[in-house]
Amino acid sequence: MRWLLLVGLGLLTYGGWKYWEKDSSVGADDDNSAAFESVDSPDDPSTRESDSRDIPVPDASEEASLRQQIAGTKSPNGDEARQKLIRLLQSKRDAAATSEARQLLTEMIQGDGNRAPWAASLSFRNFEEGEARIERARAIVGMGDRAAAYVDALEALADDEAKSTTDSRQLRAWELYSKAYFAQTDEDDENNRRMRIRKKLDPIVKRIVLSPRHTSAFPIYKVKSGDSLDAIARKHKTTVATIQLVNRLPGTVIHPKQTLKILSGTVSIEVDKSEFRLDVRIGDKYLYSSPVGLGKDGGTPLGEFTIRTKMEQPTWFKRGVGEVEYGDPENPLGERWLGFEETQEYSGYGIHGTDQPDTIGTESSAGCVRMRNEDVIGLYPLIPRGTRVIIRE
C-alpha cells in the first residue's frame, strides 16, 4: 500500500514530460542509460542489487513479444517485461513513448511488487519536479535508508531547505546533507556524489557552525567572573582553539557576561583509505573533510585509534637518530601533529602535515595519515585529545 500513496504525487504530470524532453538531447547513438540514471531493480525490495545499466535495451524486434507478455496482466505480474519495455521506449525518445513509459511505471508502482521500488526511484529521478518531487522525496525518506533512491531523496530535501537563509532551515539542510554524505551505497559514482554534497555542505558549516552565529544547534555560555577559556573548554569537552575559532577570539582574554558559542557534541574522525579522504563528524553531522596521503604499500593500519598527543610545529622523533626539529628538511611532520595512542600492535602513528602536497592522494608516507599543511592547520583546532579515529579500507 505504501506505493499507492506515492502514485498521486505527480507521476503523470507535465513535469514528467519536461524531464524526459530534457534527456532527449542525448544523441540516439549515445548510451541509452544516460536518460535513466542509476536506479535499483532488486529482486528483494530490501536490497539493492542492480540498476538500470544492468537492464540492456531490448532489440526493437522484441517489442511485440514484450507487449504480448504484459497484455491482460496486472502488475506485479509481467513486471519484468514492463521493465524491459520501458528501456525500449526510452531509446525511442518521443512523446508517445514517454507517455506510455509513464503509464507502465504507474502500473508497476501500483502493483507494489519487487520492482515497484525501481519504478518509484525512476519516476523520482527523471520525471518529477517542483513540489511533487519534494513530496515524493519525503515519502521515500520516510521508508528508511533501504528505500530505492533514498540518498537522492535526502539530497533533494536538503536542496529545498538550503534555498532558505533562515537558521532553522539551514540547520535542517546541514542534517539532511550530512545523512546523504555519510550514507553507504554501492553506486559507481559515490565519490562524485560525495564531492558534490561537500560543495553544498562546506558553506553551510562555515556560516552556521564554525562562526559566532547563535543557533538552536549549539549552547551559548555566559562567562562568569573567574572563568578561563581552558576551564570552559574542559567543562564542555572541547578545545580552547575551537572556542577561539568559532567565536573569532584573537586571544585568551574573556570578560564576565561575554557570550560564547560552544560546539557541543562528540567529534570523531574517519579515514577512508580507498578514497584517500579524511572526514570529521560532530555527532552524526559533517564538520570537515580533506584529502590525505597514506602509507606506502598499504602501510597505514586499519582499525580504531584515539588522538593522544597534539603538537604545533612538531619535533619528529626518528628511530635510531633522535629529535629532528621543526623546520629541518628531514622532518616530515609539517605544521601539526595529532598522535595516536599506542596499542598492542601499533605505535608512532598519527595525522600530520606535509610540505610535499603532491603526495596527497598517494601511498607515500611511512604509515601515517598526511595532509596538506593548510588542511591540517584547519583540522587541528577542531580535534580534542581523546577523539576517536576510525581507519577503514
Q: What is the pLDDT of residue 187?
A: 66
Strands (DSSP E) contained in 176-302 are 220-222, 259-261, 267-272, 277-282, 285-291, 294-295
For residue 30, the model assigns a pLDDT of 35
Q: Which residues are catalytic?
A: 352, 368
C-alpha–C-alpha distance, residues 11 and 123, integer Å: 6
**Residue 42: per-residue pLDDT:** 34
**CATH code for the part of the protein at 292-392:** 2.40.440.10
- The pLDDT value recorded for residue 205 is 98
Domain 220-261: CATH architecture, name and number where available: Roll (3.10)
Q: How much is the pLDDT for 124?
A: 80
Let me know: does 383 contact 263? Beta carbons within 8 Å: no
pLDDT for 388 equals 97
> Grid coordinates standing for 88?
525500449
User: The pTM is what?
Assistant: 0.76
Yes or no: say if 189 and 222 are a contact pair by the CB < 8 Å rule: no
Grid cell locating 309? 598527543
- The answer to whether 128 touches 16, Cβ cutoff 8 Å, is yes
pLDDT at 55: 66
C-alpha neighbours within 13 Å on the C-beta side of residue 19: 25
* pLDDT score at 13: 38
Check: CB of residue 306 under 8 Å from CB of residue 383.
Answer: no
Domain ranges (residues) in the chain: 4-148, 151-209, 220-261, 292-392
Q: Which whole-number Å values give the CA distances from 57 to 93, 117, 357, in the listed order? A: 13, 20, 45
Query: Per residue in 92-111, is it b (16+ CB within 10 Å) or e — as a string?
Result: bbeeebbeebbebbbbbbbb
Low-confidence ranges of the chain (pLDDT < 70): 1-56, 186-188
pLDDT for the residue 169: 97
DSSP 209: I
